Amino acid sequence: MKTFKIGGVHPSENKLSATSPIRRSGLPKQAVFSLYQHIGAPAKPVVAKGDTVKVGTVLAEADGFVSVPVHSSVSGRVSKIDAVVDASGYRRPAIFVDVEGDEWEESIDRSDAVVPLAGRPDLTAESIVAKIREAGIVGMGGATFPCHVKLTPPKGTKAECVVINAVECEPYLTADHRLMLEKPEEILIGTSLIMKAVGVDRGYIGIERNKPDAIALLQEKAKAYPHIEIVPLQVKYPQGGEKQLIAAVTGREVPAPPALPIHVGVIVQNVGTTFAIYEAVMKNKPLFERVITVTGKNLQTPSNLLARIGTPMSQLIEECGGLPDDTGKVIGGGPMMGKALQHLDVPVCKGSSGLLLLSERESRRTAPQPCIRCAKCVSACPMGLEPYLLATASSLRKWDVAEENGITSCIECGSCQFTCPSFRPILDNVRMGKTTVMALIRARNTK
């Protein structure tokens, strides 16, 4: 069974919601659209207070190449443009829409019929990328990098294959798993669209083998798609990391930053993104809803919800049985890389893959003990770094030492902190060091 070679850990899977089918969440009373739902320049609002919008109306347009538009997920009236504390924990400008009815833009195809690739001979690589850009699609695994940028390889590079990330290595999360079980055909068409957009004839879908039903189903369906291969992978965290996935599926190693996957000829897209691409190109539907796993051991019904973007998280929790009394932390994303939310009215955004409710006991940190030099973090690091060294260098503000030891390669997966027997806050310090070193490098380059 294939997997990546260096490091990795195996946290308890806890896929509580794996058997619950995706269901639609209700419409919110008010939807909030952050302008910072993607990496890059924030979107520029094109609506004003009092404007009426429909589902799919552009609320804010892309500001530059590395930026995407934001579409309304509800119909109603724009009530204000104001700052809101979003999932990042920072106050950021957002557009508030008061919901009235549920009226969609006429251009969106709302039927359930699957449109095969053969049904649209008019599509070219350029038109697919343009459509993806228009639809505001970003990497939906959580990184939220604008999708069209990834599909436009920089000069001097050439894509050779496409890898679809269906690993879902974060514990608890099952959104991608359910999507594969319920929309396999659409995902395969989406993969074909990406392959067509970048002009390659080889595609892989990497799935960890803790999802045997999804592997079997996709292998069955993929018989009609000779260019797409389903690759079952050994279960290991962080296999969903771009570089780890490329190593696992193709055996290629992506060099240290600033090198990108495209430098080894690979383009990686998340399976949720692939589905969004299918909907955007074939159904003319911009990205305004996504599957999000709402889960937790104390939660009454852990579920996979198809939620409109802008819905407050509190509503999703209500739909899954309400906030349990014993709740210590609410995490946006998975337990390994997710971020604790500051309040429950944080709106769903394009990168929200999960909502995890941890009990008081689960969320408590253990007091750190001195480092015993066991080097467990070193063997766990999937990037081959020395986390204990980077953490110490960062906390002592030795930025040059941190930089020399490759702190910018860190993917912030948290394997080091997970495995540390002394409960040291390794990732906290490394992340701080990485941000500072990146800022220093940027300052140096602009000088």
Partner 1 sequence: MNVILIAVGILGAVGLISSVVLYVVSKKFTVVEDERIGRVAEVLPQANCGGCGFPGCSGFAAACVKAADAGSLDGKLCPVGGQAVMEKVAGILGLAVTESTPKVAVVRCNGTCANRPRVVEYDGVRSCRVQLLSGTGETACAFGCLGGGDCVAACQFGALSINAETGLPQVNEDLCTACGACVKTCPRKVIELRPKGPKNRRMVVMCVNRDKGAVANKICKASCIGCGKCVKTCPFEAITLNNNLAYIDPEKCKLCRKCEEACPKGAIHALNFPPRKPKTEAVTAPDSGTASAVKTEV
Per CB under 8 A, residues contacting partner 1 are: 85, 88-91, 339-340, 342-343, 364-365, 395, 425, 428-429, 431-432, 435-436
HSE-up (13 A, CA, CB side) for residue 54: 9
Q: How far apart are CA 99 and CA 93, in angstroms?
A: 19
CB atoms closer than 10 angstroms to residue 276: 28
Q: Which is nearer to partner 1, 84 or 264 (CB)?
A: 84
Output the CA–CA distances (angstroms, integers) from residue 30 to 18, 33, 153, 240, 310, in the order listed. Answer: 30, 10, 39, 34, 8
Complete DSSP assignment for 35-77: S-SSSSSPPEE---TT-EE-BT-EEEE--SSS---EE-SS-EE
Strands 70-71 and 76-85: unpaired
CB of 381 to partner 1, least distance (A): 19
Q: Which is nearer to partner 1, 56 or 335 (CB)?
A: 335
Which of helix, strand or coil describes residue 240?
coil
Q: Which is nearer to partner 1, 113 or 443 (CB)?
A: 443
CB of 16 to partner 1, least distance (A): 25
Q: Which is nearer to partner 1, 365 or 447 (CB)?
A: 365
Q: How far apart are CA 87 and CA 351, in angstroms?
A: 10
CB of 298 to partner 1, least distance (A): 19
Which of helix, strand or coil describes residue 105?
coil
Q: Which is nearer to partner 1, 321 or 425 (CB)?
A: 425
Tokens at 178, concatenated: 């359910």
Q: How far apart are CA 310 and CA 346, in angstroms?
A: 8
CB of 18 to partner 1, least distance (A): 29
Tokens at 196, concatenated: 């067509």
CB of 44 to partner 1, least distance (A): 21
Whether residue 238 is preceded by a cis peptide bond, meaning omega within 30 degrees of 0, is yes
Phi/psi of residue 415, each to 5°?
Answer: -60, -35
221, 205 contact by CB (below 8 A): no
Q: Which is nearer to partner 1, 3 or 342 (CB)?
A: 342
Q: Which is nearer to partner 1, 61 or 345 (CB)?
A: 345
CB of 95 to partner 1, least distance (A): 18
Q: Which is nearer to partner 1, 72 or 417 (CB)?
A: 417
Give residue for tokens 């690739």.
117
Q: How far apart are CA 35 and CA 45, in angstroms?
A: 8
CB of 443 to partner 1, least distance (A): 14
Q: Which is nearer to partner 1, 274 or 429 (CB)?
A: 429
CB of 338 to partner 1, least distance (A): 11
Q: Which is nearer to partner 1, 46 or 340 (CB)?
A: 340
Q: Which residues pair with 45 in a beta bridge?
A: 60
Calculate the CA 408 to chain-centre distance: 20
CB of 433 to partner 1, least distance (A): 9
Q: How far apart are CA 189 and CA 114, in angstroms?
A: 9
CB of 244 to partner 1, least distance (A): 23
